[in-house]
Structure 1
Amino acid sequence: MEKNWTISIYNKKILKIVHIIFAASMSGSLISILVILMVKENCNIPAENIFGVDLSILKIFTWGVNYVFFALALTSFIFGLFTEWGFVKYRWIIAKWIITLSMFALTWFGLGPAINGMTSISDAGLNNSAMSGEYLNFQRSAIIFSVMETIAILLVFFVSVLKPLGARKATQRIKQKTVVLIITPLIIIGIGFAAMNAIELNKIRNLHIKSMNIGSIGDGTYNGEAKAGSYVYKVKVEVKNHRIVNIEGIDNRKSPYVSYAEGVFTKIIKQQNVDVDAITGATTTSKAFMKAVENALDK
């Protein structure tokens, strides 16, 4: 007979409290994001303040939605594995998992990219009508997805409290040991990949960028490149009257983050310094571009 690992009643109460706190934090964060976005949509915020507002939204999303979502999923998994609720024993639990997975998709493919793109563009500066148009599209998308996610988490609360649909007639029960044997390796592999990716990204973000004396560089056009991860980023830098007057990316990979990161060129030209603040939301790529500009001018 298989031995079941079940947490005590006391620990189950603690787990429930933590789970509710995470759920409340996420719903509060989503509502806060939605309110700020609606205020932005209907009020004329000065251009110089837009990035500060977007950065606040990004911070709320990162800590209050993104990280909290994974914590919420973890407590849900513990509930399913180590309590009598299970994963598919009740139809309302299945409904909760479907809604939760839907929220993950909305976060990963919708709300996250919209907020990230919005913040990256405002950090680079709304310099032309094309950027302004793209920014507004991201803002409207962020509003739509935040409304959808808010409705979804309210549905989760509704299902959790009312527990509709009743028990499911299962012909065969999923063994706890089987779930552990399947999920544990997947979790270990996922953590391993995430750790390696974080180490690589951190290495790029901490690249040393030299403070160069632009006034000592002769006029001309200089090409440079820098490797970041599996990609090589190339730039063309034009110097005139001992000033950087233009920077262009050359034959780089097609990605929205590359487009956002190119906003760092405007900062370099404005400050006449290669070591500037990276573009928020495209930190890694903009850091690689800075290194490419440094390598070009260092010739």
Structure 2
Amino acid sequence: MPQLSASQQKLLKTIHLLAAGLWLSSVIILMLLPLLSRGITSGDEIYMYNRAYHFIDMLILTPAAIVTFLTGLIYSLFTQWGFVRHGWIIYKWIITLLIIITGTFYLGPMVTKLLAIADAKRIVALQDSYYIQGEVIGLSAAIINSLLLIVAVLFSVYKPWKNVKR
């Protein structure tokens, strides 16, 4: 495989770090956003809360996660880091894929459905069992994903489990 030049690696690293930072920031915001929903008293507020949550999830977090994944893929293919040469890289791949797959096939559709429920039912959505369960699952996922991504950042800095034995 051809290797990236030093300047190409720096550009790729810049894009990767910006995307990963945006991804982590978005997940933390989604973790904290339910604090805002505690004061909701009208149907329009519940709808706008869900619209903002959906916007962050679909138009900021998702693209940032995809760019992080793609730049990581390019890094693994075109630099000496590889996919499984170091344990900390293996962790990052597992976590990245786990979060993206879970978000794509479960959490994303759930957030879209919660927005539809909030739009249709407005304040009554707060008594809908699917809506209540979805809120709990969304908060739990945001907490878990925040912790997993923070650990990925720490591993990127401290690089534990260097050189996996084959």
Please report the TM-score for the alignment, with normalisation by the length of structure 1.
0.52
Mark the CA change 1:128 to 1:43 in structure 2 (over 3 Å): closer, same or farther.
closer
- Where 1:125 maps in the other structure, the secondary structure is helix
Alignment of 1:20-39 (within 5 A): 20-39=17-36
Aligned to 2:136: 140
**Which amino acid is 1:13 matched to?**
K
Cα contact 2:28–2:146 (8 A) shared by 1: yes
1:11 aligns with 2:4: no
Aligned to 1:75: 71
Mark the CA change 1:129 to 1:158 in structure 2 (over 3 Å): closer, same or farther.
closer
1:84 aligns with 2:80: yes
1:108, distance to aligned residue in structure 2 (A): 2.3
CA distance in structure 1 between the aligned counterparts of 2:43 and 2:20, rounded to whole angstroms: 34
CA distance in structure 2 between the aligned counterparts of 1:47 and 1:130, rounded to whole angstroms: 9
CA distance in structure 1 between the aligned counterparts of 2:48 and 2:15, rounded to whole angstroms: 31
1:130, distance to aligned residue in structure 2 (A): 9.4
Cα contact 1:111–1:146 (8 A) shared by 2: no
**Which amino acid is 1:81 matched to?**
L
Mark the CA change 1:38 to 1:127 in structure 2 (over 3 Å): closer, same or farther.
closer
1:92, distance to aligned residue in structure 2 (A): 1.3
Cα contact 1:51–1:119 (8 A) shared by 2: yes
**Which amino acid is 1:82 matched to?**
F
Q: Whose relative contact order is higher, 1 or 2, with alpha carbons under 8 Å and at least 6 apart? A: 2
Cα contact 1:19–1:75 (8 A) shared by 2: yes
Aligned to 1:161: 157
Q: Alignment length, in residue pairs? A: 166
1:129, distance to aligned residue in structure 2 (A): 7.5
Give percent identity, aligned residues only.
Answer: 25
Mark the CA change 1:130 to 1:27 in structure 2 (over 3 Å): closer, same or farther.
closer
Cα contact 2:54–2:112 (8 A) shared by 1: yes
Mark the CA change 1:106 to 1:147 in structure 2 (over 3 Å): closer, same or farther.
farther
Cα contact 1:38–1:143 (8 A) shared by 2: no
Richer in helix (by share) = 2
Cα contact 1:30–1:146 (8 A) shared by 2: yes
CA distance in structure 1 between the aligned counterparts of 2:140 and 2:163, rounded to whole angstroms: 34
**Which amino acid is 1:78 matched to?**
I
1:128, distance to aligned residue in structure 2 (A): 5.7
Aligned to 1:46: 42
CA distance in structure 2 between the aligned counterparts of 1:147 and 1:83, rounded to whole angstroms: 32
Cα contact 1:89–1:168 (8 A) shared by 2: yes
1:169, distance to aligned residue in structure 2 (A): 2.6
Q: Which has the larger radius of gyration?
A: 1
CA distance in structure 2 between the aligned counterparts of 1:127 and 1:151, rounded to whole angstroms: 32
Richer in strand (by share) = 1
What are the ranges of 5 or more consecutive residues in structure 1 without an aligned counterpart?
171-299
Cα contact 2:44–2:122 (8 A) shared by 1: no
- Where 2:128 maps in the other structure, the secondary structure is helix
